[in-house]
Amino acid sequence: MSNHATAPESALRHRVYRQLEPVSRDAYGLSPANRLIVTLIVLSVLAAVVESEPLLAAGHESVLHAFELACGVVFLVEYLLRVWVCVENPAHGPGWRGRLHYMRSAAAVLDLVALTPLVTSLIGGEAFVLRFVRLLRLLRLARFGRLSVALTHLREAIRSRAFELAASLWIALILLLITSTLMYLVEGRAQPEVFGSIPRAMWWSIVTLTTVGYGDVVPVTAAGRLLAGCTAVIGVGLVAMPTGILASAFSEAVQRHRRREGGGWKDAH
If you write DSSP's letter for every residue of 217-235 in order, what string do you get?
S---SHHHHHHHHHHHHHH
Shortest distance, CB of residue 83 to a second copy, whole angstroms?
Answer: 26
Shortest distance, CB of residue 91 to a second copy, whole angstroms?
Answer: 25
If you write DSSP's letter for every residue of 114-178 in order, what string do you get?
TTHHHHHHHH---HHHHHHHHHHHHHHGGGSHHHHHHHHHHHHHHHHTHHHHHHHHHHHHHHHHH
Shortest distance, CB of residue 125 to a second copy, whole angstroms?
Answer: 15
Shortest distance, CB of residue 147 to a second copy, whole angstroms?
Answer: 6
Residue 214 has phi, psi (to 5 degrees) of -60, -40
> What burial letters (b/e) apply to 78-98, b meaning 16+ CB within 10 Å?
bbebbbbbbbbbeebeeeeeb
Q: Which one, 87 or 183, has the nearer CB to a second copy?
A: 183
Q: Which one, 101 or 225, has the nearer CB to a second copy?
A: 225
- Helix 222-262 crosses helix 145-160 at what angle (to 10 degrees)? 120
Shortest distance, CB of residue 208 to a second copy, whole angstroms?
Answer: 6
CA distance 194 to 228: 14
Q: Which one, 4 or 155, has the nearer CB to a second copy?
A: 155
Burial of residue 122, with CB atoms counted within 10 A of its CB: 0-12 exposed, 13-18 middle, 19 or more buried: exposed
Shortest distance, CB of residue 32 to a second copy, whole angstroms?
Answer: 21
Q: Which one, 83 or 245, has the nearer CB to a second copy?
A: 245
Q: Which residues contact 90 (CB under 8 A, 6 or more apart)?
A: 1, 2
Burial of residue 41, with CB atoms counted within 10 A of its CB: 0-12 exposed, 13-18 middle, 19 or more buried: buried
Shortest distance, CB of residue 235 to a second copy, whole angstroms?
Answer: 8
CA distance 181 to 185: 6
Shortest distance, CB of residue 159 to a second copy, whole angstroms?
Answer: 14
Closest CA relative to residue 50, chosen from 31, 63, 33, 35: 63
Q: Which one, 146 or 269, has the nearer CB to a second copy?
A: 146
